[in-house]
Structure 1
């Protein structure tokens, strides 16, 4: 059964990893998807893959989420093609090992711009029409680093704590508007971002599809159910 038939989602950071997995699951459930990322060749490759699944429509839009005007253009283009956006999935993120003592100011700025400003820009661009329709769902892909801090993750964790705060505050702002908010916090996922974190005695990392299925769970709940927080960790 295609649970998302007739629905449309925008997925940022869609060119690889968790974002690509989310896009695949949405299409498998019959939904349309707008792929947003900076790497056009990766977007084109994924689009060619997804259009083979069935009746879903796919649109790729090159987008740098740190640039507000590009995010606004993304949403406008998506609305022109699909009329309305049902789900906005803030997935784009940067995980750089740049503790305060490192003095890596540019890396701090990158994480702050992508992980915090990118999320807010996306919400800002899509929210007015969702509120007008009294319907829509914003998914923020966060991290367990938004609950825990290590000596190497100070700035990264700070950005993810911020995403959790944005999700929590937005849910309260949108109470009784019909617009839902879900914060999804994955543990270690097997992606290019975590490929150098290994050790032979580590627990098995999560697969990207595990997080994608959490997204599908949240967006397929009855309209009166708002799943605010999902944390997904390896066993």
Structure 2
């Protein structure tokens, strides 16, 4: 049951994170959302509270471990628990490797991998102390299917998928902490706007023409996994648009 649980959502200022925060709140969770764009977080907080929910928001750069620790500490101080962690913050600046966009590689590794590790490290001790919890990591179809111009991005999402399975093996049977890896296909979010490689313009346009998934579709998948019975551990959910072949 989600009702009364404390949920943390990273990357909560837009897209999947924003939709997930709303969905968890509607299901009865108290929701803490973190992101760098605090103005959008305030809009999220207002929307949740106007619907009768409880929310707290805080600026969060997941690439900084100290901020991840401080965010979780603030949640525990306010609500005395962390029951659900949704590691959603992520970047997708696709580029062909030959174009050597090293700064973008570094940023993806910092956000997509280190950010997941830092936030999980901050939350898991509280879950272990309570012998209960649920970690949801947002990976991608790219964590399974590699494609040109996606080599570094795919590598980061392969890492998230592998980390999720290792975390499940370590924590689920020993500490009653469930782990779910969500692997979306094309979703109508801001991710494509982070692509700076001009040679990928056709790719971006093709993605826009597809009937993509909505952020709510992924939020609903997350709610399904988290709201499943205690004896049931939904380890992976892969969701593609019907029109997506690979």
Instruction: Give the TM interval when normalised to the shorter protein.
Output: over 0.9
Matched, 1:111 2:118: no
1:1-235 to structure 2, matched below 5 A, reads 4-54=2-52, 56-176=53-173, 177-194=175-192, 197-199=204-206, 202-235=209-242
State how far apart, in whole Å, the 2-side matches of 1:70 and 1:219 are.
Answer: 25
Q: Do the aligned residues in 1 keep the contact of 2:172 with 2:179 (CA within 8 Å)?
A: no
Tell me how far 1:198 sits from its aligned partner: 2.8
Counterpart in the other structure of 2:198: none
Deviations 1:132-173 (A, max 9, x none): 211000000110000111111010000000000100111111
Counterpart in the other structure of 2:197: none
- CA RMSD after TM alignment: 1.4
State how far apart, in whole Å, the 2-side matches of 1:6 and 1:175 are.
Answer: 22
TM-score (norm 2): 0.91
Deviations 1:175-201 (A, max 9, x none): 322100000000000012136723389
Distance 1:95 1:43, change over 3 A: same
- Structure 1 or 2: larger helix share? 2
Q: Matched residue pairs, number?
A: 232
Note the residue ranges of structure 1 that are not aligned, 5 or more in a row. Answer: none
Q: Do the aligned residues in 2 keep the contact of 1:26 with 1:33 (CA within 8 Å)?
A: yes
Q: Do the aligned residues in 2 keep the contact of 1:98 with 1:108 (CA within 8 Å)?
A: no
TM-score (norm 1): 0.95
State how far apart, in whole Å, the 2-side matches of 1:228 and 1:164 are.
Answer: 10
State how far apart, in whole Å, the 1-side matches of 2:187 and 2:94 are.
Answer: 16
Q: SS in structure 2 opposite 1:185? A: strand
Distance 1:90 1:148, change over 3 A: same
Note the residue ranges of structure 2 that are not aligned, 5 or more in a row. Answer: 194-200
- Tell me which stretches of 4 or more aligned residues in structure 1 moved more than 4 Å: none
